[in-house]
């Protein structure tokens, strides 16, 4: 656990640097585009429309999910996914792509995955605000369940940091891992309850799918925005999620501390 505390202390002590560098990343990404940061909304909007057309109108024929319009049910799951997927893929490559820069500057390498997550978080938070507006337009009352949103935000950011810290270490040492991870994330889009309702499956298949911790996060956001239930109602699954996340964080912290002084040697 000493490795975990050491890494977390680095994030806390340099939080202002994480915010500043992530803000610079966002500005530099879109500074050469005519529409600028508007692309942060246009690209997800196009993808949402495509998924809604294929899965909502094409496959489901416009049928609602548990009394909720499919479009609403879809975007509540897609918006977190649009944050999760690029954060994991880019975060896993963050150390390899910038290790030369870090070798010339004095700040912990463990900040790089956090900077990537924070860069994507700006878009995520803006889209969450848009989601609340869409729910208001559809006359969907957020209700008392909305107060558990900070809990699921904590789950989301903790898991992303844990998994990107581990994956960025592995990806720097074994470059093939980055390609495997990209393929895995494409698979997880369809193996998670993002585009389709898994409640119709039998208990065995649901149990297998729930081994994926992203299942817990996606369903958690739906529980929060659509009023399906409280996070503590399934205490066993909650315990599994946190045990899995803390295990990944422990392994990732230990591996990162062990190898980070040798990252330059793997370039």
pTM for this one?
Answer: 0.89
Kindly state the average pLDDT of the residues 182-191. 90
Say if residues 117 and 165 touch (Cβ distance below 8 Å): no
Task: Mean pLDDT check: name the lowest of 43-57, 123-137, 156-170, 193-207.
Answer: 43-57
How many C-alpha atoms does 152 have within 13 Å on its Cβ side?
26
Alpha carbons 245 and 121: distance in angstroms, whole number: 19
Tens-place pLDDT, residues 111-133? 899 999 998 898 888 888 888 88
Per the CB < 8 A criterion, the answer to whether 105 and 182 are in contact is no
Structure tokens at 3: 């490795």
Grouping H, G, I as helix, E, B as strand and the rest as coil, residue 68 is: strand
The whole-number average pLDDT for the span 158-181 is 91
Is the pLDDT at 35 greater than 60, yes or no? no
pLDDT of 34 over the 60 cut: no
Residues β-bridged to residue 65: 68
The model's confidence at residue 259, banded by pLDDT at 50, 70 and 90, is: confident
User: In this structure, what DSSP letter does residue 166 have?
Assistant: H
Token pair belonging to 53: 């057309």
Q: How far apart are CA 154 and CA 185, in angstroms?
A: 21
Tell which wins on pLDDT, 10 or 217: 217
Predicted pLDDT of residue 162: 95
93-104 tens-digit pLDDT: 888 877 666 666
What is the secondary structure of 202-248 as a DSSP string?
-HHHHHHHTTSHHHHHHHHHHHHHHT---GGGGHHHHHHHHHHHHHH
* pLDDT higher at 228 or 239: 239
CA-based nearest residue to 218, from 162, 150, 155, 167: 155
Looking at residue 151, what is its pLDDT? 95
The reported pLDDT for the residue numbered 116 is 92
Q: Which residues pair with 68 in a beta bridge?
A: 65
Least confident of 19-33, 60-74, 110-124: 19-33
Total structural domains in the chain?
1
Q: Would you state the pLDDT for residue 60? A: 59
pLDDT of residue 41 exceeding 90, the answer is no
- Report the share of the chain in percent with pLDDT over 90: 31
What is the spatial distance between Cα 29 and Cα 49, in angstroms, rounded to a whole number?
A: 24
Residue 107 has pLDDT above 80, yes or no: no
Nearest Cα to Cα of residue 181 among 195, 199, 192, 166: 166
Give me the pLDDT at residue 248, please. 96
Q: Which domain holds residue 30?
A: 2-266
Locate 163 and state its tokens: 């998994």
Structure tokens at 118: 């924070």
Instruction: Examine the pLDDT at 33 and tell me if it is beyond 60.
Output: no
Q: Judge whether residue 52 has pLDDT over 90.
A: no
Residues 6+ apart with CB under 8 A from 36: 30
């Amino acid at each position: 656990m000493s490795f975990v505390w050491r890494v977390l202390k680095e994030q806390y002590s340099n939080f202002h640097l994480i915010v500043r560098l992530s803000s610079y990343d966002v500005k530099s990404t879109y500074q050469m585009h005519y529409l600028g940061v508007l692309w942060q909304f246009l690209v997800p909007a196009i993808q949402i429309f495509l998924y809604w057309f294929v899965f909502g109108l094409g496959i489901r024929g416009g049928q609602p999910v548990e009394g909720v319009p499919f479009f609403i049910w879809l975007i509540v799951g897609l918006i977190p996914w649009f944050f999760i997927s690029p954060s994991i893929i880019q975060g896993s490559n963050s150390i390899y792509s910038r290790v030369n820069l870090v070798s010339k500057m004095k700040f912990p390498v463990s900040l790089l995955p956090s900077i990537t997550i924070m860069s994507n978080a700006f878009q995520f938070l803006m889209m969450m605000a848009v989601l609340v507006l869409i729910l208001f337009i559809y006359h969907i009352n957020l209700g008392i369940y909305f107060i558990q949103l900070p809990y699921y935000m904590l789950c989301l950011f903790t898991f992303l940091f844990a998994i990107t810290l581990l994956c960025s270490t592995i990806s720097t040492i074994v470059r093939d891992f980055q390609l495997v991870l990209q393929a895995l994330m494409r698979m997880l889009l369809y193996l998670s309850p993002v585009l389709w309702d898994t409640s119709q499956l039998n208990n065995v298949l649901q149990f297998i799918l729930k081994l994926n911790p992203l299942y817990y996060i996606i369903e958690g956001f739906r529980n929060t925005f659509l009023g399906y239930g409280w996070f503590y109602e399934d205490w066993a699954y909650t315990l599994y999620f946190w045990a899995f996340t803390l295990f990944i964080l422990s392994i990732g912290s230990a591996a990162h501390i062990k190898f980070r002084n040798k990252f330059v040697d793997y370039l």
